[in-house]
Amino acid sequence: MISIVGGSGFVGTRLISLLGKSNCFNYDKNRSAFFPSISSFCDIRERNSIVISAKTCAVVLLAAEHRDDVAPTSLYYDVNVEGTKNVLSKMDELGIKNLIFTSSVAVYGLNKINPIEGHPIAPFNHYGKSKWQAEKLIKEWYEKDPEGKSVTIIRPTVIFGERNRGNVFNLLKQISSGKFLMIGKGKNKKSMAYVGNVVAFIKDRIEKNEPGYHVYNYADKPDFTMSELSAIIENKMNLSIPKTRIPYRLGMLGGYVFDLLALVTRKKLSISSVRVKKFCATTQFDATKAHSIFNSPYTLEEGLNKTLEFEFINPKEDDVLFYSE
């Protein structure tokens, strides 16, 4: 039995679909829209609410506070750090020694150049800081009694896919509108991870149950430039995207104008100086280590095409969506 803690969300739902309902059980404080029959309430902040089955052979810990707008900020540490500590304590109680934990490339901080797993850690926000603290707790747990333990820490880059409403979806929506204008030269590259590959990697690590303590970045390769990404969307959706490019400085100026409008109207607008800066930035992460032991079932382009098909070409009518940054 695989116990998934926090499996009602975007990644957990896809993971359960891949593993099969008969092979896993979901523990989450939120109701599962797709798998209520194999789900039970669990708030990892409260140790007594963690009722993982004694038949568990591996725990996949997905539960986390991850949005940028979480308030109070202490929630990041209550869930991501103290919650992890509670899960580890429960695993000790039950003698469970196989753990897969989803961390984040946020532990590296901003503007790092294609960092590998051994790159210096320098998180810049509460999410990254809390994930790094959780990682340190897990390493201490492992080193205290490593005999027979298998620990995998996965640090994914931004994850996208069907039903997800996050930054990649917003970007795909903008480009697929056909009214998209490129800011900058379009040569900046973005590391992304398709959810179908992320859950396949988790499944692979569960099945291998490799002894030891292992850390992997995860991103699907090769990284596309913004121009290449636009061309893929243009081809898939049979669009003709305007070739006009807005100089970066002019784009940032426009972003500041929208910042002022948001301040005056007290509304959250889809364009801002921060979004322009993020759009034009290069955000790459080295995932050589993961791909040296794992063959992803989908190429990055296939993942993008599947998402475009589901979201924009033949959109589904149900309203089950997963929101993230």
Contact between residue 54 and residue 1 where contact means Cβ atoms under 8 Å apart:
no
| Residue that the structure tokens 């149900």 belong to | 318
Tally Cβ neighbours within 10 Å of residue 16. 25
Distance CA 219, CA 116 (A): 11
Give the dihedral sign, CA 168/309/202/52. Answer: positive
Given strand 220-225, what is the order of strands in its sheet?
159-160, 189-194, 220-225
Residues 6 or more apart whose Cβ sits within 8 Å of residue 292:
none
Distances (CA, A) of 101 to 49, 156, 168: 19, 11, 23
Distance CA 81, CA 135 (A): 9
Residue among 27, 76, 108, 127 flagged as catalytic: 127
Distances (CA, A) of 303 to 48, 65, 292: 39, 25, 20
- According to DSSP H, which parts of 27-107 are helical? 74-77, 83-94
The amino acid at 231: A
Decide if 127 is catalytic.
yes
Q: Which tokens hold the place of 281?
A: 């930035």
Ramachandran angles phi, psi of 190, nearest 5°: -125, 125
> Could you give the residue numbers annotated as active site?
127
